Amino acid sequence: MTRDEIVKAARKLYADPGYAQTTVEKIAREARVSPATVYAQCGGKEGLLRTLMDIWTTSPTVARIISDSAAQSTGRAKLEALAEGYAAHAAEAGDIMRIVERAGPSSPAAQEFLDIADQRHIEALEMIVEGIADNGDLAEGLTVQDAARIIFFHFRNPQFVLAVDTFGWGVDRAKRWLVDRVAAAILKD
């Protein structure tokens, strides 16, 4: 239970005031443990950031997104299932995504964790695109890797937040728009 409380405290403080502004002492105070406990159980600030990145990138939601997309019979339906999954994942872990994304510039370790998260993301997308290619729905001349990167470019959390929050489109409009853009870029006509 103590470890969970420490992770919860770090998640709260890394979101506000931010990773760079949060000390182990502040995390310990929020979790009502000693700083030594934060280091021993969680590896300090960097260990906690790594834990949060792992929560984000290895969530059961990620596996569900892949399986839901795989269960669809057309490339477009696979992209629609992917968009639904992105919305669910953003609701579940969007704060963690923003924490890791914002921490990257302030810390080499944080940037490394963001790079790991991005690589895991692309690998998951490649699995989905392989299903699109297996259906014969992938555009001619486009590799699985390139198609996955096109999806990554459009659906990364900052772009999703931009469409939903900054543009004020809401989740449904953002999903439709993103699916339309990606479908036009990677699916056969």
Q: Give pLDDT, residue 106.
A: 86
> Which tens digit of pLDDT belongs to each residue from 44-64?
999 999 999 999 999 999 999
Mean pLDDT of 104-126: 94
Instruction: Tell me how far apart the alpha carbons of residues 77 and 156 are, in angstroms, rounded to a whole number.
Output: 19
Q: Give pLDDT, residue 189.
A: 86
Residue 1 has pLDDT above 90, yes or no: no
Is CATH 2.60.40 the classification given to domain 53-186?
no
CATH number for the domain formed by residue range(s) 2-52: 1.10.10.60
Residue 110 has pLDDT above 80, yes or no: yes
49-83: b or e for each residue (b if 16 or more CB lie within 10 Å)? bbbbbeebbebebbeebbebbeebeebbbbbbbbb
Is the C-alpha dihedral spanning 54, 60, 63, 65 positive or negative? negative
Backbone angles phi, psi at 187, to 5 degrees: -100, 150
Q: Give pLDDT, residue 73.
A: 96
For all residues of the chain together, what is the average pLDDT?
Answer: 96
Q: Is the pTM higher than 0.85? A: yes
Mean pLDDT of 33-43: 96
Provide the token pair at 90: 């953003």
18-31: b or e for each residue (b if 16 or more CB lie within 10 Å)? ebeebebebbbebb
Residue 26 has pLDDT above 80, yes or no: yes
Map out the domains of the chain as residue ranges: 2-52, 53-186
Q: Give pLDDT, residue 62.
A: 94
* Nearest to 147, CA basis, from 44, 90, 61, 75: 75
Instruction: Tell me how far apart the alpha carbons of residues 119 and 125 are, in angstroms, rounded to a whole number.
Output: 10
* Nearest to 15, CA basis, from 43, 60, 52: 52
Provide the token pair at 130: 């392989």
Mean pLDDT of 3-32: 97
Residue 88 has pLDDT above 90, yes or no: yes
Backbone angles phi, psi at 169, to 5 degrees: -75, -25
> Which tens digit of pLDDT belongs to each residue from 68-77?
999 999 999 9
Residue 18 has pLDDT above 80, yes or no: yes
Q: CA 172 from chain center: how many Å?
A: 18
Mean pLDDT of 154-159: 94
Q: Give pLDDT, residue 181.
A: 98
Q: Give pLDDT, residue 147.
A: 99
